Amino acid sequence: MSGVSDAFAESGPSGPAALGWPRLPRWRGRLHGSDLRWSLAFVAPYAVLFTAFVVYPFGYALWIGSDPKLYGELLSDRRYLRAAVNIVAFVGIAVNVQMILALLLSGFFMRRRLWIKALLAIYILPWTLPAVPAYLSFHWMLVAYPQGLADNLISLLFGIEGPFWFNRGWLALGCDITAAVWKWMPLWTLIFLGGRMAIPQDLYDAADIDGASPYRRFVHITMPLLANLYIVSTLISAVWTFGDYAPVLFVSAGTPAFESEVIPTLGFHFALDFANPPLGIAAGLSVLPLLVPIMIVLMQRLKATEVQL
Amino acid sequence: MIASFLAVKRRSPAHYRLRRAVVEAGSLLLGAVILIWVLIPVYNMFLVALNAEGHNEFTYEILPSHPTLQIFTSLWNADDEDIRNIWPEFGNSIFIGLAVMVLTVVIASLAAFAIGRMRLARDWALSSAALLTYVIPASTLIIPFLRIMHVYGLIDSPLGVIAAEVTFATPYAILVLQHYARLIPSELDDAARIDGASVVQLYLRIYVPLMAPALAAVGTYALLFAWNDYFYQYMLLQSEKHTTVAMALEQFFDDDDAPWNYMMAIAILYALPPIAVFYALRRFMALGVTAGGVKA
């Protein structure tokens, strides 16, 4: 896709985005009078939205979920324990696999070939596909044992009969992870591609003159300069993946017998199918001890660097 | 240039040519693997949708033996019992998507302007508060949302869904806008202020025109967000006349006798608008991605 490079060529009045962007003065003095009133009026719509649809409902959820008995009930539920293990595996594997592959593939897409640019345009397709239909396609490809597309391809290529993918919890969860990586990896590849393009070419030229191998250029130039972007992206992806119900809900649907559920989908079942909304809320809240530390690190990173690429 | 010249000098030309050939073959192979990986699920959609018999029978092949557009013509005429509401459902999805897109752009740009340009508060304070939105687990919100929508009188109303989706699309939009705004020199604002421009004029005459690419990117993200969403629509809409395409697909999915060829044909049609918008605006999209450094 030529868009990435073009975007940089015309990225605003101050020219190409380089590593250090022009910054506004830290604090131009306090606002007074009509300036202050107008600024407050401009923030008001978002403030209303945030209060009405984030603070109020979440406060309400905390109030319902504050009963300690709910958590005893959760811990004695085997489905919940399995979902807790699953979500750690789901987030840990899906996030790291897509991030590492995206980092490596962004280097591949830096190559200046026409066919590679065309391939990039196709490569981002999964990200632009709406989640529900994309995951349903995965489901149907895998569930139609022994004749789904996946099993048919396996028997064509290797001459063996493929497995029934949703018969074992781990295999089903693996399918969900694969689908999530498929959907989100293009986005992170684009982000790392943008990050790589912001690295001045002189650094690589200098390394070339010193005879650095591609591996050493990656380790000593690309990695240090992309480190912050990589960490922030990984943390954000982790936060999103913790809350992402769609792959599990639509690919494996939690089969067999709740063995591939994760906490968000189990929370839905508790709240909607088992008519026990407080337990659903408690299940959702129970991931906060994992999410809050991630969020604190993320905010510190954002505050310290204001995500400079 | 010099570097490659040196490299050639150091090693024999034959060695260099061999290395080039290996790299070239390797990248072609990688390209092929990427292509297959990306396209298999998409191909699967077409495979099922082009099979008129594939209602619920597992007549599955790697290549379609009798491909036909019959399913798409039935969709167009909406003449099958399963799909008679499909076009109103598309209408509902489009209405929600466009409303979310417009409102997100307006609300996020006003807030990002007031905080980022007018310095009402520190940049990172707003981004962090907004990012907190993404920590909230969706399953904790089911009951609270149903309750507040009753309080606000928005139950079974597309307005409730729009409000919820705008709430969750705006934080990311604010992040992108804040980062893009750093490319616009603050001296422009100062000059306009000296000429007597008001806050509103600053916003309309300087901020919005110069931010146009970022606003387009953010609007597209909001549309994609609304298109990706299923949860808020499913939770907050009940009556048949408000059903959206995402809800219809899920209802098929729940059905034991799901018409998979219709589902996949609808899925293909449903995927077209965001893809069209995305590729039309792709230079802005890449810009939003890089300028924001974070995703939708």
Residues 179-208 of B with CB under 8 A from A: 179-180, 182-186, 188, 198-200, 203
Pick from B44-53, B60-69, B159-168, B189-198 the range whose average pLDDT is largest: B159-168
Q: Is B195 in a helix, a strand, or coil?
A: coil
pTM score of the predicted model: 0.82
Q: Does residue A122 sit at the B interface (CB-CB below 8 Å)?
A: yes
Q: Do B182 and A148 touch (CB under 8 A)?
A: no
Residue A252 has pLDDT above 80, yes or no: yes
What's the pLDDT at A4? Answer: 36
> Residues of A with CB below 8 A from B292's CB?
307
Residue B251 has pLDDT above 70, yes or no: yes
Average pLDDT over residues B139-168: 85
Closest CA to B154 of A168, A259, A159, A49: A49
Q: Do A45 and B224 touch (CB under 8 A)?
A: no
Q: pLDDT tens digits, residue range A132-143?
A: 888 988 888 887
Domains of chain A in sequence order: 33-64 (no CATH), 71-305 (1.10.3720.10)
d(CA A278, CA B140): 8
Q: How confident is the model at residue A90 (pLDDT cuts 50, 70, 90)?
A: very high
Q: Give Cα A235 distance to the centre of its chain.
A: 8
The tokens for B239 are: 């009556």
Pick from A271-275, B70-74, B161-165, B263-267 the range whose average pLDDT is largest: B161-165
Average pLDDT over residues A272-283: 82
Residue A21 has pLDDT above 60, yes or no: no
Residues 206-265 of A with CB under 8 A from B: 208-209, 211, 229, 232-233, 236-237, 239-240, 242-243, 245-246, 250, 263-264
Residue B106 has pLDDT above 90, yes or no: yes
Q: Do A133 and B274 touch (CB under 8 A)?
A: no
B249 contact partners, CB below 8 Å, separation of at least 6: A132, A133, A136, B263, B266, B267, B270
A42 → closest Cβ in B114, B179, B295: B114
Mutate to test the interface with A, among B51, B176, B234, B290 (most CBs of A within 10 A): B290
Distances (CA, A) of A217 to A121, A205, A211, A229, A291: 27, 10, 10, 18, 35
B219 contact partners, CB below 8 Å, separation of at least 6: B101, B102, B104, B105
The tokens for B190 are: 């100062």
Closest CA to B97 of B180, B10, B161: B161
d(CA A30, CA B116): 13
Residue A153 has pLDDT above 50, yes or no: yes
Alpha helix (H) residue ranges in B138-281: 142-152, 158-181, 186-194, 199-201, 208-210, 212-228, 231-236, 245-254, 260-280
**b/e string for B237-267 if b means 16 or more Cβ within 10 A?**
beeeebbbbbbbbbebbeeeebbbbbbbbbb
Average pLDDT over residues B221-234: 86
Residue A206's identity, in one-letter code, is A
Q: pLDDT tens digits, residue range A181-212?
A: 999 999 899 888 888 887 888 888 888 888 88
What's the pLDDT at A32? Answer: 67
Domain ranges of chain B: 1-41, 84-292
Q: Do A129 and B42 touch (CB under 8 A)?
A: yes
What's the pLDDT at A1? Answer: 33
Q: Do B290 and A191 touch (CB under 8 A)?
A: yes
d(CA A178, CA B136): 24
**Lowest mean pLDDT segment, chosen from A47-61, B87-101, B138-152:** B138-152
- What is the percent of chain B with per-residue pLDDT over 70, rounded to a whole number? 83
Residue B107 has pLDDT above 60, yes or no: yes
What's the pLDDT at A97? Answer: 95
- Name the phi and psi angles at B259, rounded to 5: -80, 90
B289 → closest Cβ in A22, A126, A194: A194
Q: Are A83 and A262 in contact (CB under 8 A)?
A: yes
> Residues of B with CB below 8 A from A38's CB?
114, 118, 198-200
Q: How confident is the model at residue B3 (pLDDT cuts 50, 70, 90)?
A: low
Q: pLDDT tens digits, residue range A34-56?
A: 778 888 888 889 989 888 888 88
Q: At what angle do helices A131-143 and B260-280 cross, to 10 degrees?
A: 140
Average pLDDT over residues B223-233: 86
Average pLDDT over residues A294-300: 85
What's the pLDDT at A29? Answer: 53
Pick from A171-185, A198-212, A264-278 the range whose average pLDDT is largest: A171-185
Sign of torsion over alpha carbons B41, B47, B75, B58:
negative
Residue B237 has pLDDT above 90, yes or no: no
d(CA B205, CA B183): 17
Specify whether domain B84-292 bears CATH 1.10.3720.10: yes
d(CA B78, CA B71): 10
d(CA A39, CA B115): 8
Q: Are B223 and B276 in contact (CB under 8 A)?
A: no
Q: How confident is the model at residue A152 (pLDDT cuts 50, 70, 90)?
A: confident
Q: At what angle do helices B13-49 and A131-143 cross, to 10 degrees?
A: 90
Residue A105 has pLDDT above 60, yes or no: yes
Closest CA to B284 of A203, A1, A27: A1
The tokens for A44 are: 């008001």
The tokens for A182 are: 């498929």
